[in-house]
Amino acid sequence: MIKLVEEEMKGEKIKTAFDLFCGVGTFTIPISKHAEKVYGVEINPYAVQDANHNRKINKAGNTFFKRASSSEALSYMVRKNPEVVIVDPPRTGLDIKTVSTLGEIKGLRKIIYISCNPSTLARDISILREKGFELKHTGIIDMFPTLTILRVLQYLKS
């Protein structure tokens, strides 16, 4: 999944990128080699602490982490005017304030949306399309292959 996100960033001149719901910097740090500055936003203080540690060991000096909810960081994000925003929200998807704000960022050219809930993804894509964004492509990744194999084995066993 990290490679797919990196592929979306390659070849573009990106001054600023944001990663909302960044956790420990799983996407933030790898994409830092494709942008001048990358800002990760995460509400969990322990994840932010780990993200800063990961930043140091990966020598990602152009990466910055902010402890905040995505909605708390919106005005900060608008001021930074990113060209790319990555979102990896919880199953509830994006809140309406976040979706609306994404539509207000003047320099935003691309949103990379990672989701584990097809229904909230569909809802958010619909709102983003109303805001003028166009869905370019999608993909499916089996995030829990062990569970899938176990389910198949259980099914075959009975």
Tokens of 157: 């066993």
In angstroms, the CA 80 to CA 78 distance is: 5
**Residue 50 exposure: Cα atoms within 13 Å on the Cβ side:** 11
Question: What is the pLDDT, as a whole number, of residue 13?
Answer: 87
Q: Are 74 and 60 in contact (CB under 8 A)?
A: no
CATH number at residue 89: 3.40.50.150
Look at residue 152 in the predicted model and tell me its pLDDT.
65
pTM of the model: 0.88
Amino acid letter for position 150 = L
Owning domain of residue 138:
2-157
Mean pLDDT by 10 residues, the chain (158 residues): 89 93 97 96 97 97 96 94 95 93 93 92 93 88 70 59
**How many structural domains is the chain composed of?**
1
pLDDT of 85 reads: 96
Could you tell me if 116 and 143 are in contact, meaning their C-beta atoms sit under 8 angstroms apart? yes
Cα–Cα distance, 42 to 57 (Å, whole number): 19
Predicted pLDDT at 71: 87
Catalytic residues: 116
